[in-house]
Amino acid sequence: MGSNRKHAPSPAASPKTVARRTGAVTQKPSRYGRRRACVLASVYLLMGLHVAHWKITGKTLAPLELNEVMVTLELGIVTAGFLFMSVAFLSAAIFGRFFCSWGCHILALEDLCAWLLGRLRIRPRPIRSRLLLLVPPGAMSYMFLWPQVSRLLAGRAPPELRLLTDQDGWASFVTADFWRNLPDPYIALLTFAICGFAIVYVLGSRSFCRYACPYGVLFGLADRIAPGRIVAKKTCLQCGHCTAVCQSQVRVHEEIARFGNIVDPACLKDLDCISACPNEVLGFGFTRPSLGRSFRGKRRRSVRFEYTLAEEILMALTFVATMLVFRGLYGVVPFLMTLGLGGIAAVLAVLGTRMVRQPAVRLVPFQLKLDGKTTRAGMVFLTAAFGGSVLFAHSAFIRYHEHFGDRALAAAMRHGSGPGVASEATLRAEALGHLQARERWGLFRPLDLDLKLASVLLAGESPALAEPYLLRVLERRPGDVRSSDAHFAMAELLAKTGDFVGAVRQYELGLEIRPDSPAALYNLGTILAATGRPDEAVAKLRAALVHAPADAQVHNNLGFLLARQGDTAGAERHFRLAITHQPAFADPRFNLGRLLLEQGREEEALRHLRRAAQQDPRYAQYLGAIGPGSDMRQ
């Protein structure tokens, strides 16, 4: 009994016994673990260098974000993120899921958190939930499959793949708008804290990968067809060391005994099991893909889930409510962060109910309730739970106003007429009420709130009320891409008050930030024409057509200016293009008819004038009085 000699595990020892006897899960990192840590540190170094290159040069490679796959699938724009995801998927289909453990920065955060907690002698226990296992495939389907299904249901053709630049609105590769699809830095840090640290503490090691990550589903499918696997090079003695060190909760020794290799797609190819094997049985090699093999032969060891059906239902309701409330809250909370937050909230909700029903409740390393009595740690937990509930209710209130405010604003912008359709003024008043509630009760005010309030007020009876909101945006984010919208809105406000010089300056400032805005180029051209600068106006309208070649209004106004300058051939071409792109637009037909009358082409001219009069009664009065010598009139 007094011996200090460690017991050698028997072949029949369970992984838990092996872990307890040998300390396998607390031993120093294996040689592969150290190498993986160096590789993952290099990933963060490269991310930092990527941002630094953009800051120094003003342009860099577009962000290698996996979610940009959706841009390619929905819009056909080939992005650097899409190509990066394709390469990672192809590598997983050949070698297995090496990318997840050797290249994913979120997994690196999870492992770092687990290591730090271990240093503090805190070892979170991994949970087992039926519900949360459904989250990753559900999230993957929502992100990648549902948009394609909705496209088919709507009868829309798939997009054509194409490459674009910043001038086209979304650069495929080199871009100056590096932060186009990334959250603000403080939101990114909060995402890392939730998805890399908090979720590990509450749900266990690598729980984001297991219970939230939608990309892991795709890599898991690729792993099913991959010939590259962890294989047995000789007879396995079933000591269980490999399973004890596996951070992905794969039953390594059982699968080796049953199949001769690892078939579970949850295997992330850490290679720790290879290092831990005392008999050098395991190694990486190529063999038959695992597709379908994990369900053949002997029945797999059943997994014991720790939640009752009622608790699983509570988790489902909590997860869905969290997603509805927090996703996109304040226009900044990203989808992946909400997935992690939903999983944490679901588990803590069950823990809260157990505090009421059970005599003993524990959240590692704290005993929250013992012998039916709430401990000090339990009181802290309940206080935090109450604070979280208040925050949830407040966020739900803000989300309500965000949803209905955005819906009313969108309806006002695409306003139509007809029975049951509210007037544009009514819709804008409704939107203003919701936006002002966000302004009054929100914990902070995002840029989009000021921009939306400004847009509603600009269209109202007192447009000058929009000025403070626009100035706030310009002060907070000078030179930011979103501040260009504030410059354009300020220009619109100044034009309404008759300050055309100031309006031109604001349009020019906005175009310095976003030179590819056809609407701003068109509006600036219109103001330049009205202030007696036709040559500059023509240049701006031509620039607008580069970015919006099918805009009938721009073609019509450009044709009108060219006719005033005596370029009748150019004017006729643009009038005809306007008619081609928008046949029901009466203005270019009328202008083309007037132009043809001046050239003596009366038969064709009258045909266009009659059609214009049919489309717009305003032009009917001109038919009897028009002649070849008349001045053109829009």
For the chain, the structural domain boundaries read: 7-26+227-303, 27-226, 309-396, 445-533, 550-634
pLDDT, tens only, 91-107? 999 999 999 999 999 99
pTM, 2 dp: 0.79
CATH 1.25.40.10 fits 445-533, yes or no: yes
* pLDDT at residue 417 is higher than 70: no
- Cα distances (angstroms) measured from residue 433 to each of 129, 202, 240, 332, 377: 42, 39, 64, 21, 43
Query: What percent helix, strand, coil does the chain show, rounded to 5?
Result: 65, 5, 30
Q: Are 135 and 343 in contact (CB under 8 A)?
A: yes
**What gap in Å lies between CA 559 and CA 403, rounded to an integer?**
42
Q: Which pLDDT score, from 0 to 100, does residue 173 have?
A: 92
pLDDT, tens only, 597-619? 888 888 888 888 888 888 888 87
Residue 268 CB contacts under 8 Å (≥ 6 apart), including other chains? 97, 98, 100, 101, 107, 206, 209, 247, 248
Instruction: Please compute the mean of the pLDDT values over residues 380-395 and round it to a whole number.
Output: 95
How far is the first Cα of the chain from the last one, in angstroms, to the nearest whole number? 104
* pLDDT at residue 17 is higher than 70: no
Residue 194: Cβ within 10 Å count: 19
In 3D space, the residue among 584, 582, 578, 620 whose CA is nearest the CA of residue 592 turns out to be: 578
**What gap in Å lies between CA 398 and CA 386, rounded to an integer?**
19
Q: Which pLDDT score, from 0 to 100, does residue 292 have?
A: 65
Q: Which pLDDT score, from 0 to 100, does residue 448 have?
A: 86
- Cα distances (angstroms) measured from residue 227 to each of 59, 218, 252, 423: 40, 16, 17, 63
Q: Which pLDDT score, from 0 to 100, does residue 293 have?
A: 65
| Residue the block writes with tokens 């001046």 | 598
pLDDT, tens only, 200-259? 999 998 999 999 999 999 999 999 999 999 999 999 999 889 998 888 888 899 999 989
Domain 550-634: assigned CATH number: 1.25.40.10
- Cα distances (angstroms) measured from residue 575 to each of 230, 279, 299, 550, 581: 68, 82, 74, 12, 10
**What gap in Å lies between CA 607 and CA 54, rounded to an integer?**
57
